[in-house]
Amino acid sequence: MLLPLASAWVDIENWAYNAAPVFEVIFIVVMVVIFTLLLRQMPRIKPQEIKPDSASSVGWDDIAGVEHARGELEEVVEFLRDPKRFAKLGARVPRGVLLHGPPGTGKTLLAKAVAHESGARFYAQSASGFVEMFAGLGAARVRRLFRIARKNQPAIIFIDELDAIGGARGNSTNGEKDQTLNQLLIEMDGFANHDSLVVIAASNLLEKLDMALLRPGRFDRQIYVSPPDVNGREQILRVHVRNKPVADVDLAMVARQTSGLTGADLANICNEAAIFAARRGGEALANRDFDQALERVIAGTQSRRVLTEHEKRVVAYHEAGHALIAELLPAVDRVHRVSIVPRGRALGYTLNLPDEDRYLKTREELLDQLTMLLGGRAAEQIVFGAVSTGAADDLRRASEIAGSMITDFAMGTTVAVTGRGSVLDDRVSEQTLRLRDEEREDLLHLARSQAHRLLTLNRPTLEALAAELLEEEVLERSSIDRIVSEAAPARPRIAAASRGSDDEDA
């Protein structure tokens, strides 16, 4: 019985020994097939390397609110259209144009307009599409992109989000990214001749780019694309409502109400207004649609949270405190709307809109801004004798403004405490950091005392605002004018404040 079993076992061992090379070959073949399939799939999970877009339909008529940037790029278009006119005077086409600025200001749209107006071939590529985990692939993609563009001159290469590969070298352990950047530097200003090839790049982080990219010969022109002013916003709104039925809408008023918003924000407002008009069954966009769209974009969507009666009273007095101080201090933007309807993360909001665009503020104007921010918390303290957690965002913003006044604008009593620096910075002493904290606390205390004095002096108006807010939930500009018309004028601004006094003593 045991002999047959032993014989069978020996036969199995002999068969396995003889078949081992076959299994090894099969295993190697399977691994080669899997590796080949992976290599074929890899390019599909990355953005398309080269994407011609010479048929772009975006022209100068679709560009508004960025007149300075458009003027700079129109010269590039003239270079590409008629290079001989410039060549006979010894001028050459700019090698590169860097568009930088906040997100949503129209940098990509400007590049598309240049491609359309110049008639040149257009190759668009996101900078992140050059980055790979395998060494050398990013540099190879850069070489291929420039090689194809040179064969089809005049041509434009557009690289979006340049900071993905253009960051300062030596600050990262990613050698592949540095190698890709080195190849881009060589292609832009190497031995190759490309008189009719322009590189346009866009970035939101100019300060993080490598200095070799920013020198003349590579990105010769650096154009800051800023948020539009009031006239630019009106022009952008008119562009975005061209294909929409619009009733008697005051776009100039909408433009004044959207200070600081970018072209992308304005496009979103127009789209939201169209959605509101469709929701109510309207045939055309009206002023109320734009008001609701502006409220949604700035304050957020309406929340379904239900507040208790006490919470509603606290929110009403809080927002009334903001609104009343904004009306009493002329340096603060006028109140457009006050609401105690929860929206987004806020339980209520006060919408302040400027009458005009302003780019400079004095120390007194910033102090008035701090006073307005702390007005809600001061109203809670005066009416209820306690403060709530609802002022968290106000405190954060007030602390940021007060900190900037000391460290950036030298608006404290001691100029020596200016300049950025952290606790870990050896160039900033502990005494300087302590002086900064003391100066910031002085500013905040000054604003808090001013808020208490103004609200105490105008307590009847505060009560009237809060009462109508509790009844109506939303107050528009006309209602605010009616209630505040009897308010006492603001008292002279406090010259100094002793640190440590309580709000009740203000």
User: What gap in Å lies between CA 60 and CA 47, rounded to an integer?
Assistant: 28
> Beta strands of 216-328 (E only): which ranges?
221-224
> Reading across the β-sheet that carries 197-203, which strands appear in turn?
51-52, 121-126, 155-160, 197-203, 96-100, 221-224
Residue 464's nearest CA partner among 379, 351, 372 is: 379
Strands 197-203 and 96-100: parallel
| Residue 349 and residue 299 in contact, taking contact as beta carbons nearer than 8 Å | yes
> Reading across the β-sheet that carries 474-476, which strands appear in turn?
349-353, 334-339, 474-476
**Partners of 202 in beta bridges:** 99
Structure tokens at 259: 């200070």
**Partners of 99 in beta bridges:** 202, 223
Neighbours of 276 (CB within 10 A): 20
**Partners of 100 in beta bridges:** 203, 224
- For residue 115, give the DSSP letter: H
- How far from 89 is each of 83, 92, 154, CA to CA, in Å? 10, 9, 20
DSSP for 414-474?
-GGG-S---TT-TTS-HHHHHHHHHHHHHHHHHHHHHHHHHHHHTHHHHHHHHHHHHHHSE
Residue 154: cis peptide before it, omega within 30 degrees of 0? yes
Instruction: Show which residues are catalytic.
Output: 319
User: What gap in Å lies between CA 216 and CA 315, rounded to an integer?
Assistant: 56
> Beta strands of 111-264 (E only): which ranges?
121-126, 155-160, 197-203, 221-224
Residue 452's nearest CA partner among 371, 384, 397, 393 is: 371
